[in-house]
Amino acid sequence: MEARLNLFGNQVAGKVLKHLIAAGKAAGETSLPDSTRELAVLRASQINGCGYCVDMHTKDAAHAGETSLRLNLVAAWREATVFTDAERAALELAEHSTRIADAAGGVPDEVWDNAAKHFTEEELTALVAALSIINAFNRLNVITQQPAGDYRPGMFG
């Protein structure tokens, strides 16, 4: 598979990516656990069919110490017993925030209320921001058909 656009050699893409990455870093500088954020963005990337982001976030999570069992069960989190209640709330929020078009009213109150039981306002803000940003990255990569498989943890700094 060859990408439709070279996002790493394109001046406009470079500017856009710089700002998306900066926004992602800001969302990561909170008390939201990195593992929770990685699981949530991985789930959003799975739903969106973004191979590049699934590759990246699976490898980043594993590099940070996440187990292969938990990574393999993200797609089936409802039936899996390996996630905490807080992680399950984040995964549910990830699904609903990624599938906005499927739900006429957006994220249901009960999904939001469940997440709010487990996370502070700062953590919820970070989680919502991370999910918004990954959905933007997913769309960018899917539209331009960025190939997956070559990502190495830390390769972007």
- Read off the pTM: 0.95
State residue 41's pLDDT score.
98
State residue 156's pLDDT score.
82
Q: pLDDT tens digits for 56-65? A: 999 999 999 9
Domain membership flag for residue 88: yes
Domain membership flag for residue 136: yes
Range of the domain at 88: 11-143
The 3 state secondary structure assigned to the chain is CCCCCCCCCCHHHHHHHHHHHHHHHHHHCCCCCHHHHHHHHHHHHHHHCCHHHHHHHHHHHHHCCCCHHHHHHHHHCCCCCCCCHHHHHHHHHHHHHHCHHHCCCCCCHHHHHHHHHHCCHHHHHHHHHHHHHHHHHHHHHHHCCCCCCCCCCCCCC
Number of domains the chain is built from: 1
Domain membership flag for residue 105: yes
Domain membership flag for residue 3: no
Domain membership flag for residue 151: no
CB atoms within 10 A of CB 45: 27
State residue 133's pLDDT score.
97
> What CATH number should be reported for the domain holding residue 74?
1.20.1290.10
Average pLDDT, the chain: 95
Domain membership flag for residue 45: yes
Domain membership flag for residue 30: yes
